Amino acid sequence: MSVQARNNVVVKGQGPLTLVFAHGFGCDQNMWRMVEPTFAKRYRTVLFDMVGCGKSDVGAYDIDKYSTLAGYAEDIVEIIQEFKQGPVVFIGHSVGAMAGVMAANLSRGLISAHAMVGPSPSYITDEDYPGGFTRGDIDALLSTLESNYLGWSSAMAPRIMGNSETPELGAELTNSFCQTDPNIAKRFARVTFLTDSREDVRQLREPVLVIQSSDDFIAPRAVGEYLTQVIDDCRMVLVENEGHCPHLSQPAACIDAIQTFLDQTCGHLPA
């Protein structure tokens, strides 16, 4: 099976950089439709669906491989190796950003910079880290999801999206969740909400941009601030936005933040 077919890889544009866009839990590459076309005018862009999501080849889903985020990171390494031209900037939303972190650490030098939208290396608070949830919160969330995935999706997607004045976005996210195979979604949820990537982000050596929503109950502002403290070269842009998906609800602000980051870092990226 080809990498393109496995992950429904779509390549557009040409330019001095390759921008690779990774979606978050319950989503697919279509979630970048308000952001990616702007960059395809100036750069090579690569969109893909994680195995089990969107139009990926569900037959490629392997329970053991995808029981950890490392399995998704291995796929990302293969996608970049096959489709990149020039330096690569990895643009990841939520858990997609953490998969990109792991990919960068698996293959040093493959990714030259990261732009992370609503990232969280761990959702569970401990005495040294403000994850936003207790372990009990996460266990309850997973228990509800596993017992009634469609009901959980209908209730949670609008909360995750926020921006109640644009209910069509919440409805879109609900629909995206509901189109994912429930068994795969349940396993991916455990990977998403129980993975602790704090040591992985500490190992990053590439420049990092964090795009942080001002009001995001999934990845609160304190998490973005934590990342700026533990990553050597990391800057945060705060976007006035309610919810976890500013690339859908505030795409212009995300485009501006990413373009400014590219303008500031392009001349310093290794070829």
Catalytic residues: 94, 216, 244
d(CA 151, CA 173) in angstroms, rounded, equals 13
Q: Residues 6 or more apart from 262 whose CB is under 8 A from it?
A: 17, 89
Q: Residues 6 or more apart from 54 whose CB is under 8 A from it?
A: 8, 23, 27, 28, 29, 30
φ/ψ of residue 168, rounded to 5? -65, -30
Helix, strand, coil: what percent of the chain each, to 5? 50, 15, 35
- Residue 166 tokens, joined: 């644009």
State the DSSP string of 173-239: HHHHHHHS-HHHHHHHHHHHHH---HHHHHT--S-EEEEEEEE-SSS-HHHHHHHHHHSSSEEEEEE
State the DSSP string of 65-86: GGGSHHHHHHHHHHHHHHH--S
Pairing label, strands 44-47, 18-22: parallel
**Phi/psi-derived region of residue 162, left when phi > 0, alpha when psi is between -120 and 50, beta in every other case:** left
- Residue 149 tokens, joined: 């995935």
Q: Does residue 17 contact residue 44 with C-beta atoms inside 8 Å?
A: yes
